[in-house]
Amino acid sequence: MSNLKDKKLHRTLAFAVINALKLIFNEGYYADKVVSKALKSDKRFGVRDRKFIAETIYEMVRWKRLYNEIAGTKEHYSAENLWKNFTVYVVLKGYDLPDWNQFIDVPVRRIKGKFDELSKIRVFAASIPDWLDKLGSKELGEKWETEINALNQKAKVILRVNTLKTTKEFLQKELFKEGIETVFLKNYPDALELVERKNVFMTDTFKKGFFEMQDASSQLVAAYLDVKPGMRVIDTCAGAGGKTLHLASLMQNKGQIIALDIHAHKLKELKKRAKRDGAHNIEMRPIESTKIIKKLKNSADRVLIDAPCSGLGVLKRNPDAKWKMQPAFIEEIKKVQADILQRYSSMVKKGGKLVYATCSILPSENEEQITKFLANNKTFKLVSQKSILASVSGYDGFFMALLEKIE
């Protein structure tokens, strides 16, 4: 199809983007699901076509408010308005405007002028809802602006080497043979960063279970739990198990990991991944009632609580969360966090440790939750805590606190 050289637009690709945006903005579909569907919609799409489609959709979701304001489309996403927003994107990215009906009389100078003007106003420059800007300012003060700018950058692709099956050095060589170049990351012992975004899931190395895709910040969580081979570890909000699998490799497959989650279908996905990764020490248990937690009281050497949260630390990879989230959700999730921390901490035995982690950057979901918990639970003490900001690390925003049960 097109090779997209010389900043030329291809009609089929433009329509693929517009159709995808209709689903995201009007039907409430998740951007990542829509992107993967769009990429499969035409077998003729080459590597560069796919790159254009994926990047353009994500960028238009990320900068939705800014483009709306420049185009004067407000919040109405008719086909005509989506083309107006797309026109803004195309002009700002420096593409040649083809002579299509959608591009008649494009006010190029006005678009660029409006962009310069709005770049001075944070809610437009960072393309965020007013309420989120107020909340970020309240909680992070002067750091907020730098942080939201960092979270508006594209996420890097990071792999976590599965040390149960291979080494970082060997994996790097094997990926290179498959045309994928990677670099090591200082201070992230199991991480490889892709030099250029590629579809790694089609590789032989992936099918053999040599790696998982996992952000660098997320890779710090399992290590923070200070696990040793032979321990009994409970991962309480395991989900599809990115951190569970990391725990299994840190424990060298020795000991026992109990993976809990309220969603049984996520644990099924973990089961598949564990098989591929050769992780044999994981037992999946869906939380169907409070009995599950009661049975495990005072039984674990280590407990991981990767708590549900606002997800504000991972906006790089989920830009549509800015538009889906509501202030009421954040208030609600904080109650859930406090409840989970209180109930799940009962599974730690004396002398055992617990990590509470979130992919949020808000102190009210992080440090403040720990302070409140410790005030009500004298049996625990804080060993250490760490807040990772995207603006400092270059990766996702994360928080982790390590607590020890002292009596």
Contact call for residues 18 and 83 (beta carbons, < 8 A): yes
- 237 in active site: no
| 34, 144, 341 from 362: Cα distances, Å | 29, 10, 17
Tokens representing 303 are 């407990």
One of 158, 225, 248, 359 is an active-site residue; which one? 359
Amino acid at 366: N
Closest of 52, 388, 12, 34 to residue 223, by C-alpha? 388
Tokens representing 314 are 């991972």
- The packing angle between helices 31-39 and 47-62, to 10°, is 160
Amino acid at 1: M
Tokens representing 235 are 């991962």
CA 390/CA 316 separation, integer angstroms: 9
- The packing angle between helices 327-344 and 130-140, to 10°, is 50
In Å, how far from its chain's centre is CA 341? 22
CA 55/CA 60 separation, integer angstroms: 8
H or E stretch including 134? Answer: helix 130-140
**Residues annotated catalytic, as ranges:** 359
